[in-house]
Amino acid sequence: MGKALRRKLRAQPTVAEIRFWRLIFPLRTGGWHFRKQVQLGAYYVDFACLHAGLVVEIDGDTHSIGRVERNDETRDRYLRERGFAVLRFTNEDVLNHPDGVHEALVAALERRPSSRRGSPPPQPSPQGGGCSAGEFDEIVPQIRCDTLPLAGRVGEGGR
């Protein structure tokens, strides 16, 4: 799968993949970093939490066909040999049983070695920028450093 197909898969997710992404929002904001359409070796996986070594596949109806099942087994074995745990959910699981999917995912994360992020990602400032100096109406302006030589010759400040 090339970059163009990976971009297409990210840009046009299935309904089940959109629901799964929303379902794992509390985990993502709680420090577990998940990525979509990740390349691991020769394969692309639907979702991966690299910190936990966990891969999640959301399977459509075609995954119950014999040849596709064998390909999935080969792929899962490849990923397990490289230290990843693989969870597979059907579209139906994600769409109709989200609580069970969430519980299974949390249980799998708890069993994995913890190299979880130390803290949740930073949140935007409630004041919308600037620096507060006590009261909300007292905003201290940002210091301007337009004399630094970021471009051009030293001493000219890039002008």
What share of the chain has pLDDT > 70, as a percent?
63
Q: How far apart are CA 24 and CA 103, in angstroms?
A: 11
pLDDT digits (tens, 9 = 90+) for 40-55: 988 889 999 998 999 9
Q: With a cut of 70, say whether residue 144 has pLDDT above it.
A: no
Give the pLDDT of residue 45: 92
Mean residue pLDDT across the chain: 75
Task: Domain 3-111: give its CATH code.
Answer: 3.40.960.10
Q: Which region among 24-28, 33-37, 96-100, 148-152 has the lowest average model confidence (pLDDT)?
A: 148-152
Q: With a cut of 70, say whether residue 158 has pLDDT above it.
A: no
Q: Tokens in use for 117?
A: 């992020």
DSSP 131: E
Taking the domains of the chain in order of start, what are their residue ranges?
A: 3-111, 125-159
The answer to whether the beta carbons of residues 64 and 92 sit under 8 Å apart is no
